[in-house]
């Protein structure tokens, strides 16, 4: 599916002295099967923005379109099945006595038969690499395991767009790398992923396009190179290294991903 | 375990000493920490890394007395948190991951003063120590600001000032930047770097790049201390990295891919090394 936000505005505590304009007219489109990165400082509106993608928040102005159709006309349950939203620290919402039960909760609520529920639970846990934990209590797992189980619970609904809000915060480096592999895998399977992250290096590694937010507005949107080379001071490490060399060696171009950067740097230093 | 010269033992002269520290959470079969032994010498900056579930948070809770060991002993400046919790709280301050959880007062200066109030410090002295702590984290002019109006990095600096006001000998940083954006992270790390010469620091993190200038790095995995090594040694040992779910930070990883040593830490250093090599290559052709 194609998910489009047109001039979306949001105001918290409207009409009170605490009124905050969190989104001041944001327009963007998440294309089917792409990885769409959203970056920006604390308070820039990232989490407010993604809550509009499945209408958990309703825009005060502008509209959300699903394949060109006004999302407010769709059934909410349908919209939330198609756009899966994983919050920050989603492990806080684990509740069932076993991992299996927890992941089965949402697909069961969709009214699927038990066979299909079981298939989806196994598939999601398998994708997250935690299939062997199915019978365990979610409360006896490590932080990284809990995070994966929580993501599997949303994945089991079979979303067409999966929104991940800071999915790697607090995880060890190897687990972070495995979640990036999962994102690549989902892209191959045709699932679009919206990745909100403070970690620019990880956004650089997997995003097809990037949107940078500042104070509730889009300040840049485009390919990772287009966005990150605008301000190399606040860019992924690969971009910072390459941009330091650009002045004397313009032939280096604008590499972003680790592999591209290594190739560009090798060509430069004649290795 | 790999141990690279942590010096000889001198009874109580360590800022922190842990000996045979073992702990299990009630109802769990596996031990959270088993037989952890290490010391921090006064003024050292020591990192702690390791996979989720490795025992890092448990160690922090044992150090400040939130948990008591099943066996073994912790001493903070010679005091045992299990029997002298108040003394230990004066000597050891913990900066937690989420600054939101620690801020309690309506204004920044009250928040910074909170720890001192609990210790019963006289007013005049309190005022002076609060002002000094606020200066140390670069928040002059923020005294009457309300904490909820600050950015994540600023909140974390307020929390840090609250710790500094108590004037502890040891600072324990428990993933202090993991909730912050790139700018907030940078600003907190800069202030921590400035404190380095004056405090003994134990810095727990998942971001190895924050520890490239540490004196030593401890690696905790499955409750065991599996390495106590210099950053250079850790970065150049692919086996320890892999076994402990660590990944080289981007600059050293680029450096390695290009055949440079792992001692290049900052983007500027790597860029310089590449230029130097490119120029010498041109000349020799």
Question: In chain A, where are the structural domains located?
Answer: 34-47+75-224, 229-271
- Residue A206, CA distances (Å) to A142, A195, A209 in order: 26, 9, 9
Q: What is the pTM of this model?
A: 0.88
pLDDT of residue B12: 57
Our CA-based measurement puts residue A7 at a distance from the nearest CA of chain B, in whole angstroms, of 25
CA–CA distances in Å: residue A168 to residues A135, A165, A243, B11, B39: 24, 9, 27, 42, 31
Predicted confidence at residue A149, as pLDDT, reads 95
Query: Which member of A140, A145, A175 has the closest CB to residue B28?
Result: A140
**For A118-166, how does the pLDDT look when each residue is reduced to its tens digit (9 = 90+)?**
999 999 999 999 999 999 999 888 888 999 999 999 999 999 999 999 9
pLDDT in tens, chain A (271 residues): 999 999 999 999 888 888 889 999 999 999 999 999 999 988 899 999 999 999 999 999 999 999 999 999 999 999 999 999 999 889 888 999 999 999 999 999 888 999 999 999 999 999 999 999 999 999 888 888 999 999 999 999 999 999 999 999 889 999 999 999 999 999 999 999 999 998 999 999 999 999 999 999 999 999 999 999 998 877 999 999 999 999 899 999 999 999 999 999 999 876 5
What pLDDT is attached to residue A270? Answer: 67
Instruction: Identify the pLDDT of residue B227.
Output: 97
A269 and B258 within 8 Å at the Cβ level: the answer is: yes
pLDDT at B6: 43
Interface test with B, best of A172, A238, A247, A252 (most B CBs within 10 A): A172
Full 3-state SS string of B207-238? CHHHHCCCCEEEEEECCEEEEEECHHHHHCCH
Which residues of chain A are within 8 Å of residue B205 when distances are taken between CB atoms? none
Lowest mean pLDDT among B54-63, B144-153, B243-252: B144-153
For B75-115, how does the pLDDT look when each residue is reduced to its tens digit (9 = 90+)? 999 999 988 988 998 999 999 888 777 788 889 999 999 98
Phi then psi for residue A104, to 5 deg, are -75, -15
CA distance B236 to chain A (A): 17
- Judge: A240–B267 Cβ closer than 8 Å, yes or no: yes
pLDDT bucket at B7, cuts 50 / 70 / 90: very low
* Chain B residues within an 8 Å CB radius of A140: 28
| pLDDT for the residue numbered B118 | 84
CB contact under 8 A, B278 and A200: no
Interface test with A, best of B150, B235, B239, B250 (most A CBs within 10 A): B250
User: Residues near B63 by Cβ (< 8 Å), separated by ≥ 6?
Assistant: B16, B18, B74, B76, B81, B92, B94, B172, B202
pLDDT at B1 exceeding the cut of 60: no
Rounded to whole angstroms, the Cα distance separating A271 from B159 reads 48
Q: Can you give the pLDDT at residue A100?
A: 95
Look at residue B255 in the predicted model and tell me its pLDDT. Answer: 94
* Percentage of chain B exceeding pLDDT 70: 94
Q: Does domain A34-47+75-224 have CATH number 3.40.50.300?
A: yes
How close does chain A come to B106, measured CA to CA in Å?
Answer: 16
Question: Domains of chain B (ranges plus CATH)?
Answer: 2-101+169-247 (3.40.50.300), 249-285 (no CATH)
Longest Cα pair distance anywhere in chain B, in angstroms?
73
**Interchain proximity B254–A177, CB inside 8 Å:** no
What pLDDT does B282 receive? 58
> For chain A, what is the HEC assignment?
CCEEEEEEEEEECCCCCCCEEEEEEEEEEECCCCEEEEECCCCCCHHHHHHCCCCCCCCCEEEEEECCEEHHHCCHHHHHHHEEEECCCHHHHCCCCCHHHHHHHHHHHCCCCHHHHHHHHHHHHHHCCCHHHCCCCHHHCCHHHHHHHHHHHHHCCCCCEEEEECCCCCCCHHHHHHHHHHHHHHHHCCCEEEEECCCHHHHHHHCCEEEEEECCEEEEEECHHHHHCCCHHHCCHHHHHHHHHHCCCHHHCCCCCHHHHHHHHHHHHCC
Considering only CA atoms, give the Rg of chain B: 20
Chain A residues 105-144 with CB within 8 Å of chain B: 140-144
């Amino acid at each position: 599916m194609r998910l489009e936000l047109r001039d979306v505005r949001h105001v918290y505590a409207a009409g009170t002295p605490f009124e905050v304009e969190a989104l001041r007219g944001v327009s963007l489109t998440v294309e089917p099967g792409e990885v769409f990165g959203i970056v920006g400082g604390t308070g820039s509106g990232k989490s407010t923005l993604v809550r509009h993608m499945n209408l958990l928040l309703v825009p005060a102005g502008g509209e959300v379109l699903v394949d060109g159709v006004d999302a407010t006309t769709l059934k909410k349950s349908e919209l939330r099945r198609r756009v899966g939203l994983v919050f920050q620290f989603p492990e806080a919402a684990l509740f069932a006595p076993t991992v299996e039960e927890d992941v089965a909760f949402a697909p069961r609520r969709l009214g699927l038969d038990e066979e299909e529920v079981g298939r989806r639970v196994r598939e999601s846990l398998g994708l997250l690499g935690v299939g062997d934990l199915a019978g365990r209590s979610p409360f006896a797992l490590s932080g990284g395991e809990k995070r994966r189980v929580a993501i599997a619970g949303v994945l089991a609904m079979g979303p067409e767009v999966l929104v991940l809000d800071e999915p790697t915060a607090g995880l060890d480096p190897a687990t972070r790398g495995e979640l990036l592999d999962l994102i690549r895998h989902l892209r191959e399977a045709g699932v679009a992923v919206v990745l909100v992250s403070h970690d620019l290096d990880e956004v650089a590694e997997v995003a097809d396009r990037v949107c940078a937010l500042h104070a509730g507005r889009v300040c840049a949107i485009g390919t990772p190179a287009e966005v990150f080379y605008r301000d190399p001071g606040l860019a992924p490490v690969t971009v910072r290294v390459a941009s330091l060399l650009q002045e004397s060696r313009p032939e280096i171009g604008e590499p972003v991903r680790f592999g591209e950067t290594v190739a560009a740097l090798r060509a430069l230093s004649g290795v | 375990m790999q141990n690279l010269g942590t010096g000889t033992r001198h009874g109580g002269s360590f800022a922190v000493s842990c000996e045979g520290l073992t702990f299990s959470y009630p109802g769990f079969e596996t031990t959270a920490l088993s037989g952890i032994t290490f010391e921090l010498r006064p003024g050292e900056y020591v990192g702690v890394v390791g996979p989720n579930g490795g025992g890092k948070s448990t160690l922090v809770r044992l150090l400040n007395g939130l948990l008591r060991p099943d066996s073994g002993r912790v001493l903070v400046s010679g005091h045992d948190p299990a029997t002298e919790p108040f003394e230990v709280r004066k000597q050891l301050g913990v900066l937690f991951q989420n600054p939101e959880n620690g801020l309690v007062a309506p204004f920044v200066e009250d928040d910074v003063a909170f720890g001192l109030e609990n210790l019963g410090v006289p007013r005049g002295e309190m005022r002076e120590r609060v002002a000094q702590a606020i200066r140390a984290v670069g928040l002059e002019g923020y005294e009457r600001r309300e904490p909820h109006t600050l950015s994540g990095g600023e909140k974390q600096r307020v929390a840090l000032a609250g710790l500094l006001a108590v004037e502890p000998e040891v600072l324990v940083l428990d993933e202090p930047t993991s909730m912050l954006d790139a700018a907030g992270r940078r600003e907190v790390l800069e202030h921590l770097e400035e404190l380095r010469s004056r405090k003994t620091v134990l810095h727990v993190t998942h971001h190895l790049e924050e520890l490239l200038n540490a004196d030593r790095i401890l690696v905790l995995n499955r409750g065991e201390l599996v390495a106590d090594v210099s950053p250079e040694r850790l970065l150049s040992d692919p086996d320890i990295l892999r076994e402990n779910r660590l990944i080289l930070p981007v600059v050293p990883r680029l450096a390695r891919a290009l055949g440079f040593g792992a001692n290049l830490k900052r983007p500027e250093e790597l860029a310089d090394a590449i230029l130097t090599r490119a120029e010498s290559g041109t000349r020799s052709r």
